[in-house]
Amino acid sequence: MPKEILVLSGSPKKDGNTATLVDWFVEGARSKGARVEVVRTAFLKYKSAGCTSCRACQKQDGYECAIDDEAKPVLAKMAGVDVIVMATPLYFFAASAQLKLVLDRMFSLYKWDNEAGTMETPLKGKTLVLIASAYEDVGLDSLEKPFALTAAYSGMKFKSLLVPNAGVSGEIKKKESVREKAIALGKEIA
Ligand SMILES: Cc1cc2nc3c(=O)[nH]c(=O)nc-3n(C[C@H](O)[C@H](O)[C@H](O)COP(=O)(O)O)c2cc1C
């Protein structure tokens, strides 16, 4: 069975460093037969600025976000694929707001029973991949931490490709060694 991979690409730059890293990763994954879909989270039409903490998702049986906009089917897809890739530029030592718009709404992919102290999620057993780049060499470790913790919390395997000194948007295209690493990661994940 080919692996199903969903990529959430969280940069506002359509042809920048994040988009390039994603292209290379996808090239590697598709060369190994994976089925890959890329969603650019900056360009979805949203009805809310992120998760509104309405908790409606916790009051129904399925794993659906109650906000009916273009992020809703993306969240539903996350529950069905084998691998979720999150790609982001480093913005002030953290993930981009454009990625967080979808990420926080992953709340709908969990069911908590606070009295019993239990949590269930269809994300269990999947793989989470983080792809991130930064202009400097400070802060990618801080960026990585919440993704690694989310994977551990969710029972997911975790992998990351962190690229410091990536330059301004688009400059990463000149970095052949990064290209090779991103393609190799795509192949490995597939
Ligand atoms: C709003 C904003 C904040 C940024 N913050 C940082 C930062 O804290 N540290 C850093 O090294 N680079 C920072 N950068 C640079 C980008 O992370 C870096 O150039 C990245 O590779 C750009 O990816 P992109 O072309 O996909 O947008 C920032 C860029 C922007 C636009």
Residue 117, pLDDT score: 95
SS3 for 170?
coil
> How many domains is the chain partitioned into structurally?
1
Task: Give the position, in ligand 1's atom list, of the atom nearest the Cα of 172.
Answer: 21
- CATH number of the domain where residue 128 is located: 3.40.50.360
Mean residue pLDDT of the chain comes to 97
pLDDT surpassing 90 at residue 122: yes
pLDDT surpassing 90 at residue 100: yes
Task: Give the position, in ligand 1's atom list, of the atom nearest the Cα of 136.
Answer: 11
- What is the mean predicted confidence (pLDDT) over 153-167? 98
Q: What percent of the chain has pLDDT over 90?
A: 99
Residue 76, pLDDT score: 97
Q: Which residue, 115, 132, 146, is CA-closest to 178?
A: 132
Residue 91, pLDDT score: 98
pTM of the model: 0.98
pLDDT surpassing 90 at residue 1: no
The pick from 14, 24, 40, 135 for probing ligand 1's pocket by mutation, whose C-beta has the most ligand atoms within 8 angstroms, reads 135
pLDDT surpassing 90 at residue 23: yes
Q: What percent of the chain has pLDDT over 70?
A: 100
- What is the mean predicted confidence (pLDDT) over 58-72? 96
- Find the domain containing 117 and state its range: 4-189
pLDDT surpassing 90 at residue 149: yes
Residue 9: CB within 6 Å of ligand 1? no
**Could you give the residue ranges of the DSSP H alpha helices within the chain?**
17-31, 71-78, 97-103, 140-154, 176-189
Whole-angstrom CA distances from 22 to 33, 38, 64, 131, 166 are: 16, 8, 27, 8, 14
